[in-house]
Amino acid sequence: MAMHRRSIVTAIVAAVLILIGNSLNAGLINHWRFEEGSGTTTADAGSAGAIGTLMNGAAWDTTEFAPIGSTASIRFDGDDDRVQATGYKAPLVQGTLDRTYAAWIKTAPTNDQNDGIFGMGTNTGGLKWTIRTQRQNGPVDGNLRVEVNGGYKTGTTVIDDGEWHHIAVTWTDDGTPDVNDALLYVDGVLETTDAVLDETMNTANGIDVRLGESVNGRNWDGWLDDMRIYDEVLDADAIFALANIPEPSAIVLAAFGLLGLLCGRRRRRK
């Protein structure tokens, strides 16, 4: 009986891992998991293999991290620190190519809460691509924003509240490429629009990809974890899964815990 239960748990774990891998790893060109916990670089588990370098004081934190089975994150002080993928400009999401960006973030209100999460391109009209928090446009402060220089779109959920949030931004060219075509998600849920300014976009082959800093030097103040770039548009179900399903390693640990519980009950019955 115990062997039968073991087989069932193993089969469940295998099936779940396959489903998660198929839905969340297709099109994944960059995945900085931030699990090293020490050193000056962070690996990219995506297909591009673009190693990130911690710069100007960006520091590991092994006591504060995203609630997804993570064990470490990177702390940014809001000054001039960032993680930079030196020599890498994300060519598969330049121009008007489809894209999805996702990350776990944690920050609290500051005097200038216009903090960069992702940055690439060139700081010229329509040619940059920046995802950040903002306190500039619209009635909501501390919300999510995507901007391209000359245009932007913001959500309505306040995310600078000192809690971990999952954010995602998708964009696809509908034939008239505009920043207003972006979809913003917070904690796996599609945002309603707070403010928007239309601008034709065509992301340039500009600066090296930056994590924790925008194209024009707005730096993150807080923690970042599990940062991803896809060269396709993830649908709402996939983004919900990113925000709510633990990393596979955490699922494996939970499965072993379940297996131990089942075996323990079996022994007590004897």
**The dihedral sign for the CA sequence 76, 54, 143, 137:** positive
Confidence (pLDDT) at 14: 45
Specify the 3-state DSSP secondary structure of 171: strand
Higher pLDDT, 250 or 114: 114
Residues 85 and 209: beta-carbon distance below 8 Å: yes
Structure tokens at 54: 């911690």
Cβ atoms within 10 Å, residue 57: 13
Averaged pLDDT for residues 68-79:
94
pLDDT at 221 over 80: yes
Confidence (pLDDT) at 65: 95
pLDDT at 188 over 80: yes
Instruction: Give ∠ CA 73-191-101 in degrees, rounded to 5.
Output: 40
Confidence (pLDDT) at 269: 52
- How far, in Å, are 81, 130, 157, 198 from residue 178 at the CA level? 30, 14, 22, 6
User: Which tens digits make up the pLDDT trace of 80-92?
Assistant: 999 999 999 999 9
pLDDT at 234 over 90: yes
Q: Which of 88, 89, 65, 87 shows the shortest CA–CA distance to 75? A: 65
User: Which tens digits make up the pLDDT trace of 147-176?
Assistant: 999 999 999 999 999 999 999 999 999 999
Say how far apart CA 131 and CA 134 lie, in whole Å: 10
Confidence (pLDDT) at 17: 47
Residues 81 and 221: beta-carbon distance below 8 Å: no
Higher pLDDT, 23 or 130: 130
Averaged pLDDT for residues 187-216:
97
Domain ranges (residues) in the chain: 1-26+246-270, 28-231
Confidence (pLDDT) at 1: 54
pLDDT class of 138 with cuts at 50, 70, 90: confident
- Say which CATH class 28-231 falls into: mainly beta
In sequence order, which residues have a C-beta less than 8 Å from that of residue 233 and are 6 or more positions away?
98, 99, 100, 170, 171, 172
Instruction: Give ∠ CA 187-116-67 in degrees, rounded to 5.
Output: 35
pLDDT class of 101 with cuts at 50, 70, 90: very high
Higher pLDDT, 263 or 196: 196
Averaged pLDDT for residues 67-87:
95
pLDDT at 13 over 50: no
Averaged pLDDT for residues 99-109:
95
Report the chain's mean pLDDT, rounded to a whole number: 88
In the numeric block, the tokens 């103040």 are attached to 221
Specify the 3-state DSSP secondary structure of 202: coil
Confidence (pLDDT) at 45: 97
Say how far apart CA 248 and CA 245 lie, in whole Å: 9
